[in-house]
Structure 1
Amino acid sequence: MTIREELEIIELGTLCKDACTSKHTGRRVRTEPKCPIRTEFQRDRDRILHCNAFRRLKHKTQVFLSPVGDHYRTRLTHSLEVSQIARTISRALRLNEDLTEAIALGHDLGHTPFGHAGEAILNEICSFGFKHYLQSVRVVDYIEKNGMGLNLTYEVKNGIACHTNRTAVTKEGCVVRLADKIAYINHDIDDALRAGVITEDMLPENAVSVLGHSKSERITTLIMSVVRSGVEEIKLEDHIKAAEDELYDFMFEHVYHNNAAKDEEVKAKMLVEKLFRYYFKNPDKMPEEYVNIMNRFSKERAVCDYISGMSDGYAINLYNDLFVPKCWHIQ
């Protein structure tokens, strides 16, 4: 018996009846030999962790565009915090922690440079629209490994695709959807406080009295509420959800739509659109892997894939190289 087979037996004996176990799931488009050590979802987790798109998340905006300071969140740190919260919930509910972690680490792989500003402009100018959660699936299916994709299991890809506004087929995917919101509301509060966009006394009194006055207290309260609700329906208790919704509305009014926090979004959208227009006219200037995508799909699809995969810094440097005049050094 291999180590993987032993782990599959352990899952069957310890996880709850609603958990997605590795032995009876883990379908891939391309059939592969089983790993002797890792379960299917452990392999998916590792593939995501080692892929190029995951590494680029460290230079992609979470909320504040290219903030000065080492402690502001990026898409990478956000994904790690989502993973921690989701794994804690799954462990407590005896769900599959490996599947949960794979979905959480991969959920934002398709996010654009400059956060939702980049997503909004690509959705506007692309004829087929743009949603980062669908792009995340496209990344793992058609872009990574020079177009070969990561060949992830159906359950992981479904959880990634459904992390924003749909119900996943697994309980683990439902956990990640909740964990994503728990993470970003609370770490965005932390970043907004650090940036001076809001102050502690501005937070809605009723919400913090129910959820807690610190980030740690609020996250613990929210996690415990999901656990108390049980595995039958992955949700927050009504009074906890009402408090979270109040905090969510507050963040949209004072942070997500705040001019002080978002005053560079117009420039970011202009930059993304100009790069898109340039490469649509000059597709041969893209890296070879995206030229191959163009030949396989379409020019517009390839340009969208190229632009959306850029980090903030890469997009800015590329824009400067293409559109900003350089000094003429006379010898």
Structure 2
Amino acid sequence: MCLRVEREKLEHLMYFDFATFADSSKGRKNYEEQCDMRTIFQRDRDRIIHSKSFRRLKHKTQVFISPEGDHFRTRLTHTLEVSQIARTIARALRLNEDLVEAISLGHDLGHTPFGHSGEKVLNKLCKNGFRHNEQSLRVVDFLERKNDRIGLNLTEEVRDGILNHSGSDVSSTLEGKIIKYADRIAYINHDIDDAIRAGIISEGSLPKELTSVLGHSSSERINTMIGAIVKKSYGNPIVEMEEDIYEATMELRKYMFNRVYLDSVVKSENHKIDRLLTELYNYYDEDIMRIPTDHLNIYDNVDADKEDIITDYIAGMTDTYAIKQIKEIFIPKGWS
């Protein structure tokens, strides 16, 4: 008995006809034999979870750089919250949960150290710019290595969802569209929670005209936002949020930009991050051979310019590793 085939049959009973089915996947760039137990999307999910870039997310900043306390979100906990929200939506809408989970777990693999502050620095330094969603796709397509395999060789549907999860980009699957909503729902609400913990705002300072619509706690707001997607989209080949809830959500997001993301406390370390990553970039730019051999070996027989190599290396760093490199490179031994 092939358990994968049984699961593929079950998908057609569980999901609406407009869902993305594992047995109808566009497949991988490089052909592989199917697994007897797992569907093609389940294998993608597992490959992402077992990747080095996924493990590094636990030491990458979400919003608050080097926060004091164990309860602030990291890029990894953000990713897990996105996955939970996305699976809840997918299950309610009878869409493919395994595809949704794979995309959500991989969507931020290309994020830089120090969160969006680091992303802005690399975007400034790179002549072609830098976007974390594009880098996430580069991670799964090229940078991750196992044995003789280049990249994770993921399905086209997962790759599409990773690339198109942010900005004005639109995924070609309904499951990919879920991730954009889940990402926004997750970061708005957990960033409110972290900002309250940091003393930047309080629950009572949130605009009452928004909390009266969305809810007076994180769990209430998440439930309202998810519910608005399910009510608007259930039984239809769309993933959209009810208009009044969407407008309130975007107003709350705007509030967070004005009161938290652009807050002087949150931004107080930005100039240091700019200097730190710029110095690192220039150091490797002066001599590419300063980058460890195991990273340089990735580009054997590949036409890559120096900027790509340096950007890949720095973007892959955790916060702690970047700081460690700065200390080793620029601070004399014996100095603290």
Q: Same fold (TM over 0.5)?
A: yes
Where does residue 257 of structure 1 map in the other structure?
A: 262
Where does residue 307 of structure 2 map in the other structure?
A: 300
1:154 to 129, 153, 156: 156
Q: CA deviation at 1:245?
A: 1.3
Higher mean alpha-carbon deviation, 127-136 vs 140-149, is at: 140-149
Where does residue 211 of structure 1 map in the other structure?
A: 214
Give me the whole-angstrom Cα distance separating, in 1, the residues matched to 2:128 and 2:266: 29
1:192 to 183, 190, 195: 195
Structure 1 contact 61–74 (Cα < 8 Å) conserved: yes
**1:316 and 2:323 equivalent?**
yes
Where does residue 51 of structure 1 map in the other structure?
A: 51
Q: CA deviation at 1:232?
A: 2.6
The count of corresponding residues between Structure 1 and Structure 2 is 328
Give the secondary-structure state (helix, strand or coil) at the position aligned to 2:31. coil
Counterpart amino acid of residue 221 in structure 1 = T
Give the secondary-structure state (helix, strand or coil) at the position aligned to 2:24. coil
Where does residue 41 of structure 1 map in the other structure?
A: 41
Q: CA deviation at 1:294?
A: 4.5
Where does residue 140 of structure 1 map in the other structure?
A: 140
Where does residue 252 of structure 2 map in the other structure?
A: 247
Percent identity between matched residues is: 52
User: What is the aligned-residue RMSD (CA, Å)?
Assistant: 1.2
Residues 302 and 293 of structure 1: CA distance in aligned 2, closer, same or farther (over 3 Å): farther
Where does residue 74 of structure 1 map in the other structure?
A: 74
Gaps in structure 2 of 5+ consecutive residues? none
Give the secondary-structure state (helix, strand or coil) at the position aligned to 1:23. helix
Where does residue 293 of structure 2 map in the other structure?
A: 288
Give me the whole-angstrom Cα distance separating, in 1, the residues matched to 2:285 and 2:19: 45
Structure 2 length-normalised TM: 0.95
Structure 1 contact 290–303 (Cα < 8 Å) conserved: no
Give me the whole-angstrom Cα distance separating, in 1, the residues matched to 2:298 and 2:281: 15
Structure 1 contact 279–303 (Cα < 8 Å) conserved: yes
Give me the whole-angstrom Cα distance separating, in 2, the residues matched to 1:327 and 1:211: 54
Deviations 1:135-175 (A, max 9, x none): 00000011001671100001001000000021101000000
Structure 1 contact 142–148 (Cα < 8 Å) conserved: yes
Q: CA deviation at 1:293?
A: 4.0
**1:176 and 2:179 equivalent?**
yes
Give me the whole-angstrom Cα distance separating, in 1, the residues matched to 2:53 and 2:69: 23
Give the secondary-structure state (helix, strand or coil) at the position aligned to 2:277. helix
Structure 1 length-normalised TM: 0.97
Higher mean alpha-carbon deviation, 48-57 vs 228-237, is at: 228-237
Structure 1 contact 64–262 (Cα < 8 Å) conserved: no
In the TM superposition, structure 1's runs of 4+ consecutive aligned residues that sit over 6 Å from their partners are none
Give me the whole-angstrom Cα distance separating, in 2, the residues matched to 1:77 and 1:26: 30
Counterpart amino acid of residue 281 in structure 1 = E
Higher mean alpha-carbon deviation, 215-224 vs 137-146, is at: 137-146
Structure 1 contact 100–175 (Cα < 8 Å) conserved: yes
Counterpart amino acid of residue 174 in structure 1 = K
Q: CA deviation at 1:287?
A: 2.0
Where does residue 241 of structure 2 map in the other structure?
A: 236
Q: CA deviation at 1:85?
A: 0.2
Give me the whole-angstrom Cα distance separating, in 2, the residues matched to 1:272 and 1:13: 51
Deviations 1:62-106 (A, max 9, x none): 000011111000000000000000000000000000000000000
Give me the whole-angstrom Cα distance separating, in 2, the residues matched to 1:127 and 1:289: 25
Give me the whole-angstrom Cα distance separating, in 1, the residues matched to 2:294 and 2:175: 33
Residues 4 and 294 of structure 1: CA distance in aligned 2, closer, same or farther (over 3 Å): closer
Give the secondary-structure state (helix, strand or coil) at the position aligned to 2:200. coil
Higher mean alpha-carbon deviation, 119-128 vs 279-288, is at: 279-288
Give me the whole-angstrom Cα distance separating, in 1, the residues matched to 2:9 and 2:294: 41
Counterpart amino acid of residue 97 in structure 2 = E
Counterpart amino acid of residue 195 in structure 1 = A
Give me the whole-angstrom Cα distance separating, in 1, the residues matched to 2:298 and 2:145: 12
Q: CA deviation at 1:26?
A: 4.5
Where does residue 279 of structure 1 map in the other structure?
A: 284
Give me the whole-angstrom Cα distance separating, in 2, the residues matched to 1:267 and 1:132: 20
Q: CA deviation at 1:128?
A: 1.5
